[in-house]
Amino acid sequence: MILFLFLAACGLTRPLAEEDVRHTDSQALIEQKAKYLEQKAERLTDAPDIIWIIVDDLGVADTDLYGQGTVHTPNLNRLANAGVRFENAYVTASVCSPSRAAMLTGRYNQRFGFEHQLHDRYLKNKLEYFVFNHFMDSKPWYPQNQDSVPGQKMIAAMGLPDSEITIADVLRKHGYTTGLFGKWHLTMRNTNGPNAFGFDEFYGFLNSNSLYGSEANSDIISTHNKKGLDR
């Protein structure tokens, strides 16, 4: 019995294999990107200003921009009335990181291996999976039973491949000055953050979420709940 318990403990606490998860950049594609960006392009002197607002988890029925939503957005409504209102659109993924990657590159994110949400931590062993699965209420998130997980080096390298060309790269090529403010969540390091993908200026955060102010500020957080999902 003692031997069984010992072997079970060893199995549950054995680190999940990390060498099976690899990240490889295509040097040929990186060189093609560099050549494209080096090519001269027409610099538009009378081009319009572009403000692109991406909002996570905002449903089409949440605001009154497209109907009888509960959130009134008069400024967005005014922009839409003076411009173009799109009434039919689809995303390439149901979570933010992959769909953001597709929007910024104009490509299906599956074509460059960006199919899952970025995380800065993964389950380390089967014991953590067992505890999360049976003793912790993490709804609507559920732990995955995996045999291999990324290591710290892999986590740092994950995200948008260096070979991808973003809309910011193209706009800069045509004379625009570009900036990104707020959430990035496409890479996990500053060294390959927004400034490495065509954005001249970046002020924000790399991870999936962040508070812009103190939790004690009732203008930012009005409700604290037991699961830690503040509103």
Known active-site residue 116: no
CA dist 219 and 145 (Å) reads 40
Residues 70 and 95: their CA atoms lie apart, in Å, by 23
Instruction: To the nearest 10°, report the CA torsion of 54, 157, 178, 116.
Output: -20
Which residue in the list 72, 96, 119, 174 is annotated as catalytic? 96
Q: Which two tokens stand for residue 76?
A: 């967005």
Are the C-beta atoms of 155 and 187 separated by less than 8 Å? no
Residue type, 169: D
Residues contacting residue 65 through CB under 8 Å, at least 6 positions apart: 73, 76, 77, 80, 85
Strand partners, 203: 181
Which one of the listed residues 10, 23, 116, 185 is annotated catalytic? 185
For residue 96, indicate whether it is catalytic: yes
Catalytic residues: 96, 185
